[in-house]
């Protein structure tokens, strides 16, 4: 009798969770990576935690990385298409190189500097190979929803972003 009762209650709970998936999921902590801070182009610290609350696309890049340079106009176009999504470029490069590059290829989303330490940060958020470019899409809850190693496919990234909204 008890076994049957518990089985029925378990099935009921499972069906409720299927209808309303993980209502407690919003209580889970954000990814620890977002606790880090990076310098902006003015030399000020910018905490990634300030971006929690809406979807976030972080793109690790460098001026010397050809695929990174090729995808920047696509990232800029997506940034313009989705004003309710934060876009951040984290440069694995020097301030001088980045400033010179952005004069030629301007973007309106935030650019932060990781310098040579960016490889370690990329690994901490799931890029075990350490390759560039590397893009991470976080949900508004601050948890990783997608990782993309290599140049983005703008149509695929568009679909990922749509699913976050």
Asked whether the predicted pLDDT for residue 26 surpasses 80, the reply is no
pTM of the model: 0.82
**What average pLDDT does the segment 8-30 reach?**
46
Q: Evaluate whether 31 touches 125 at the Cβ level (below 8 Å).
A: yes
Q: What's the pLDDT band for 8 if we cut at 50, 70, 90?
A: very low
Per-residue pLDDT reduced to its tens digit, 91-139? 999 999 999 999 999 999 999 999 988 888 999 999 999 999 999 999 9
Per-residue pLDDT reduced to its tens digit, 37-82? 999 999 999 999 999 999 999 999 999 999 999 999 999 999 999 9
Domain 29-164 has CATH 3.40.50.300: no
């Amino acid at each position: 009798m008890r076994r049957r009762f518990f089985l029925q209650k378990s099935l009921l709970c499972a069906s409720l969770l299927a209808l309303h998936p993980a209502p407690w999921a919003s209580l889970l902590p954000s990814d620890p990576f977002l606790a880090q801070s990076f310098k902006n182009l003015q030399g000020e610290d910018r905490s990634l935690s300030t971006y929690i609350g809406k979807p976030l696309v972080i793109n690790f890049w460098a001026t010397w990385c050809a695929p990174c340079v090729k995808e920047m106009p696509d990232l800029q176009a997506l940034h313009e298409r989705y004003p309710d999504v934060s876009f951040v470029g984290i440069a694995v490069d020097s301030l001088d190189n980045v400033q010179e590059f952005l004069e030629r290829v301007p973007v309106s989303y935030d650019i932060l500097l990781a310098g040579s330490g960016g490889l370690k940060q990329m690994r901490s958020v799931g890029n075990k190979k350490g390759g560039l470019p590397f893009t991470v899409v976080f949900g508004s809850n601050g948890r990783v929803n997608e990782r993309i190693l290599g140049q983005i496919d703008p149509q695929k990234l568009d679909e990922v972003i749509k699913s976050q909204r």
